[in-house]
Amino acid sequence: MGTSWSQFFPPTPQLTESTLPNQQGKVFLITGGYSGVGLELCSLLYHAGGRVYLAGRDKQKGEAAIETIKQSSSSSSSSSGEITFLYLSLSDLSTIKPAVDAFTATESRLDVLFNNAGVSNPPPGSVSAQSHELQLATNCLGPYLLTQLLLPTLNHTASISAPGSVRVTFTSSIVVDFQTLPTQELFALHVPHPSAQQQNYLHSKIGNWFLAHELDRENPAVTFLVLNPGNLKTALTRHLPAIVPFLVAPLLYHAKMGAYTALWAGLSTDLSLEDGGGYIIPWGRRHPSPKGDIVRAIEGGAATRFVGFCEEETREYRA
């Protein structure tokens, strides 16, 4: 329980804009890059000299975010890199391959894929373009397809880079540590509840852990990680009753703190290939005691089953 509560009051982050090495020559793709954690992460990497692809479904918001990043106080730094908007909608699988095609038409490498975008507690009955429950689609199916289509580029980059430096992150949540599911439900994350949106959200966040674990096992040259970015003041809470963000406001941090968590997962030299499949907690630490019932479910084949479901549901959108 001590580790769980320490996620509400994390120690000082170790990898920030003041300690981040120059990222010139590296390429990053960040989903949900025009708000919240994604926006902060794009800014950190751009100002460190990286080539950043800000991915999202709203071109106008994306381009406005890019302009804001370029005009920010750090933009005078000579180490500023490049930043480009990339259109994709994780809730519409048909948009993902065209986005990857556009990316690979320009880039031959990808150092870190940050699967950052997500949705939480939309109105009951919300579905994706392909009629999947919206949180399952946006948080799991879309990121799974995006990652699979980018694997050739990620593996190529790994072949010419330091071992363990090419990474993919998936975004989970503190709810994974504080809520419990029956064993049979852990084996059926793909079955949505008709009206219990918080339960569906929890399913998708456990699903992100399952994806990181299985994809790491299947792709030994790339390091896959799952992270809880932290409790943050972002638009992710927009669908919750207004009283909820008000009540928890004293426990919420600026979105940049969540970007520090992702930055550590994506770039820290304290992590290696051996850490693949691991869980990262705020503001950049290995989870010392991942939740036992989920670990047992993974060992029992739940993660393999979930990835099989994601594979089946996304296969036709690869061509």
Q: Which residues are known catalytic residues?
A: 172, 201, 205
Q: Which residue type sits at 100?
A: V
Q: Contact 47/20 with Cβ under 8 angstroms? A: no
Tokens linked to 252:
């919420």
CA separation for the pair 77, 106 (Å, rounded):
25
How far apart CA 172 and CA 206 sit, in angstroms, is: 7
* Angle 35-36-40 from CA coordinates, rounded to 5°: 90
Q: Do residues 65 and 39 lie in contact, with contact meaning Cβ atoms separated by under 8 Å? A: yes
What CA–CA distances, in Å, run from 65 to 36, 86, 108, 223? 11, 12, 25, 29
Q: Are 74 and 63 in contact (CB under 8 A)?
A: no
> Residues of 170-188 as b/e, b for ≥16 C-beta within 10 angstroms?
bbbbbebbeeebeeebbbe
CA distance 297 to 283: 27
Give the torsion sign (CA, 31, 19, 209, 119): negative
Q: Do the Cβ atoms of 4 and 180 come closer than 8 Å?
A: no
Closest of 314, 220, 199 to residue 275, by C-alpha: 220
Question: Is 140 strand, coil or helix?
Answer: helix
CB 81 within 8 A of CB 46: yes
- Residue 229 tokens read as 């970015």
